[in-house]
């Protein structure tokens, strides 16, 4: 743990000198250049405290109190603007400094009147902490992902604090260095002009942040700057020593890619049963964990346990109902359930949500009915079963033998013949000798080709491939790029959208234009209050024709009611096309997938 804390400190220090810090640097230096001599320390302390809180727990906090993802950022920007205005107005700086010292009084400390500026600097730094977004390497990414999925622990807080302290040391050095230069100018009698200049810089910084210029700047850095500038400690963080420490932090995966590849080779070679022994050649990978006992709901079955399933071969399938990759596997799962259930196979679908609305039992139940799933499904809202299996993918399949041991794993789509061969091998091993012919899936959804446009999201957390800017938290007006100028696999927002980390909601004249490649287009959609609302679909500049329209399109229009995956386009053969969507106010989009 000490080694990881050391690495986290070094990583935090390194990120504080990367270009990603540039958006907050003017505000940091401007705020540090006014007030008492200890104000830089107060600003950096406030920044570090709120930044650590943000990365380890702000997501759960704002969810719990119903605050939107962009609210804290907006409040912080407003505070920076207020502070800048105070510096611009004569006499206001002294007034606000005294008022902000309420923190000292709350802490039962009686500082001399504006003697050092530490306490008045603390809330200014606190506001900066909510908009401070350093380039995230493996350590910071691990802290954020583990706290989001598994909750905050003492280890998570310790690593995040070490990371924050590393950043604080460098930022404090920058702030003090800037303060010394500013003091030299002030001694020449230009203090008033300097203060107003700092105020203007603070206000300008707030305006640029409110219009998301800082986020667009960081997007440009991520795509155009070499990794040694945006993540100078990347090599260190990816070293074996750090990866071992991170594995202890987030839990080691039970099945890595090398194991999966080895299993696939065994199945592909047809080593179903070792000669004359009745024992499958598939390796024993470990005991299968229990299903999480706190699951809110089971469908098509009473709650199942490992003991209750002993003697049966069990296929555990991790999925979520808006994941097109998961839906493509359902015809095979249903066929295997119909073909082998009476011969000793039990399929258990573990529905682990990707989006917040996928936690609703009514939505999950509706999806199970719509897909005609007959095998047991458990709702895994708290990721209990997901974490017990050490899973990291949608979809993922774990095949458990009759003695409760994991024997085969497959991540993603494909390799259906190999998976069925493994099922048959373990059924034979369990004494089911006559299995008959293989299953015949019906209604397979077309597989994704290598050239198909990659999936993308409309929420700010995972949006990729947007131009001229991507989705940004809050309500903003977007100017759509001209379709003729869009490169392949690039999307463009138009009109007014309200964006959070998961989705984008149409506010006014909202559009999405994209140049895509594929034979099918799917989009996860929802409508506020589940009221029927429309999305108009155009393909290559015209309302989509009936022979190209997806299953959910009528007269070039999708009527959005429930929160689910909608099929917008279905072509006879894949190709390159310009897709344009026009949204009614109140329709939310989550994720695009292409086939």
- Helix runs in 39-70, H state only: 39-65
The helix (H) or strand (E) run that includes residue 236 is: helix 234-237
Confidence of residue 257 (pLDDT cuts 50, 70, 90): very low
63's CB contacts (< 8 A; 6+ apart) are none
CA 595 to CA 576: how far, in whole Å? 12
Q: What is the DSSP letter of 284?
A: P
Tens digit of each residue's pLDDT (9 = 90 or more) over 323-348: 777 888 888 999 999 989 998 999 99
CA 34 to CA 92: how far, in whole Å? 12
For 234, other C-beta atoms within 10 Å of its C-beta total 16
CA 182 to CA 549: how far, in whole Å? 64
- Give the global pTM: 0.52
- CA dihedral over 461, 463, 464, 469, signed as positive or negative: negative
**C-alpha distances out from residue 241 to 160, 373, 390, 575, Å:** 18, 45, 21, 46
**C-alpha distances out from residue 182 to 33, 135, 179, 195, Å:** 6, 28, 5, 10
CA 68 to CA 184: how far, in whole Å? 44
- What pLDDT is attached to residue 134? 59
pLDDT, greater one: 580 or 146: 580
Report the pLDDT averaged over residues 297-307: 89
Tens digit of each residue's pLDDT (9 = 90 or more) over 461-475: 888 889 888 999 889
Give the orientation angle of helix 138-150 with respect to helix 39-65, to 10 degrees. 40
Among the listed ranges 210-219, 269-278, 287-296, 517-526, which one has the minimum average pLDDT value?
Answer: 269-278
CA-wise closest residue to 49 among 135, 178, 189, 157? 157
- What pLDDT is attached to residue 48? 84
CA 82 to CA 206: how far, in whole Å? 9
Q: What is the DSSP letter of 186?
A: I
- What pLDDT is attached to residue 63? 42
CA 32 to CA 24: how far, in whole Å? 12
Domains and CATH numbers, the chain: 2-245 (no CATH), 253-429 (3.40.30.10), 456-594 (2.60.120.260)
Report the pLDDT averaged over residues 516-521: 90
Res. 168: pLDDT tops 50: yes
CA-wise closest residue to 490 among 472, 470, 509, 516? 516
Confidence of residue 312 (pLDDT cuts 50, 70, 90): very high
The helix (H) or strand (E) run that includes residue 510 is: strand 504-527
**Six token digits for residue 370:** 């719509």
Question: Is the CB of residue 379 less than 8 Å from the CB of residue 358?
Answer: no
- What pLDDT is attached to residue 316? 94
What is the spatial order of strands in the sheet that 298-299 belongs to?
286-287, 405-411, 396-400, 313-319, 345-351, 377-379, 298-299
Tens digit of each residue's pLDDT (9 = 90 or more) over 476-494: 999 998 888 888 999 999 9
Among the listed ranges 127-136, 348-357, 582-591, which one has the minimum average pLDDT value?
Answer: 127-136
Confidence of residue 545 (pLDDT cuts 50, 70, 90): very high
CA 338 to CA 374: how far, in whole Å? 9
- What pLDDT is attached to residue 197? 78
Residue 532 Ramachandran class (φ > 0 left, ψ -120 to 50 alpha, else beta): beta
Question: Is the CB of residue 167 less than 8 Å from the CB of residue 16?
Answer: yes
331's CB contacts (< 8 A; 6+ apart) are 441, 442, 443, 444, 445
CA-wise closest residue to 168 among 134, 214, 212? 134
Res. 201: pLDDT tops 90: no
SS3 label, residue 35: coil
Give the orientation angle of helix 71-88 with respect to helix 25-32, to 10 degrees. 40
Three-class secondary structure assignment of 535-584: EEEEECCEECCCCCECCCEECCEEEECCCEEEEEEEEEEEEEEEEEEEEC
**Six token digits for residue 344:** 């000793």
Which residue(s) pair with 578 in the sheet? 515
For residue 586, how far is the Cα from the chain centroid?
Answer: 23
């Amino acid at each position: 743990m000490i080694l990881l804390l050391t690495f986290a400190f070094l990583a935090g220090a390194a990120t504080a000198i990367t270009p990603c810090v540039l958006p907050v640097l003017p505000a940091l230096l401007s705020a540090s250049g006014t007030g008492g001599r200890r104000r830089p320390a107060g600003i950096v302390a406030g920044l570090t405290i709120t930044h650590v809180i943000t990365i380890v727990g702000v997501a759960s906090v704002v969810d719990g109190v119903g605050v939107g993802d962009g609210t804290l950022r907006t409040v912080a920007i407003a505070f920076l603007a207020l502070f800048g205005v105070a510096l611009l107005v004569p006499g206001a700086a002294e007034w606000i400094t005294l008022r902000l010292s309420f923190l000292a009084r709350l802490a039962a400390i009686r500082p001399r009147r504006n003697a050092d500026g530490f306490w008045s600097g603390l809330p200014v730094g606190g506001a900066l902490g909510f908009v401070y977004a350093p380039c995230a390497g493996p350590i910071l990414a691990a802290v954020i992902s583990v706290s989001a999925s598994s909750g905050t622990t003492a280890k998570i807080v310790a690593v995040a604090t070490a990371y924050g302290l590393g950043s604080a040391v460098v930022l404090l050095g920058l702030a003090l260095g800037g303060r010394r230069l500013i003091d030299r100018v002030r001694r020449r009698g230009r203090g008033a002009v300097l203060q107003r200049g700092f105020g203007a810089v603070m206000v300008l910084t707030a305006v640029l942040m409110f219009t998301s210029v800082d986020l667009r700047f960081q997007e440009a850095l991520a795509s155009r700057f070499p990794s040694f500038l945006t993540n100078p400690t990347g090599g260190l963080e990816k070293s074996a020593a750090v990866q071992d420490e991170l594995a202890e932090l987030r839990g080691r995966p039970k099945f890595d890619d090398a194991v999966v590849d080895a299993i696939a080779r065994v199945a592909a070679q047809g080593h179903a049963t070792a000669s004359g022994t009745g024992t499958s050649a598939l390796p024993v990978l470990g005991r299968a964990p229990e299903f999480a006992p706190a699951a809110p709901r089971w469908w098509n079955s009473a709650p199942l346990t490992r003991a209750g399933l002993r003697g049966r071969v069990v296929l555990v399938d991790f999925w979520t109902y808006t994941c097109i990759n998961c839906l493509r596997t359902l015809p095979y799962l249903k066929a295997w359930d119909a073909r082998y259930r009476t011969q000793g196979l039990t399929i258990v679908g573990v529905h682990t949500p990707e989006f917040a609305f996928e936690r609703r039992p009514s939505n999950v139940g509706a999806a199970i009915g719509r897909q005609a799933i007959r095998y047991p499904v458990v709702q895994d809202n708290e990721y209990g079963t997901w974490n017990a299996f050490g899973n990291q993918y949608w979809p993922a399949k774990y095949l458990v033998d009759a003695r409760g041991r994991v024997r085969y794993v497959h991540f993603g789509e494909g390799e259906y013949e190999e998976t069925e061969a493994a099922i048959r091998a373990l059924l034979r091993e369990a004494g089911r000798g006559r299995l008959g012919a293989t299953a015949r899936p019906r209604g397979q959804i077309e597989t994704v080709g290598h050239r198909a446009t990659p999936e993308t999201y409309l929420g700010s957390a995972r949006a990729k491939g947007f131009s001229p800017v991507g989705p940004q938290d809050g309500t903003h007006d977007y100017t759509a790029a001209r379709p003729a100028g869009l490169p392949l696999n690039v999307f463009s927002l138009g009109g007014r959208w309200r964006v959070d980390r998961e989705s984008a909601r149409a506010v006014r004249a909202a559009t999405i234009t994209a140049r895509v490649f594929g034979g099918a287009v799917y989009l996860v959609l929802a409508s506020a209050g589940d009221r029927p609302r429309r999305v108009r679909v155009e393909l290559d500049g015209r309302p989509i024709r009936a022979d190209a329209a997806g299953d959910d399109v009528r007269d070039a229009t999708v009527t959005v009611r429930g929160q689910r995956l909608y099929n917008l386009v279905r072509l006879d053969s894949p190709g390159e096309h310009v897709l344009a969507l026009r949204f009614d106010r109140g329709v939310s989009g989550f994720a695009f997938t292409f086939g």
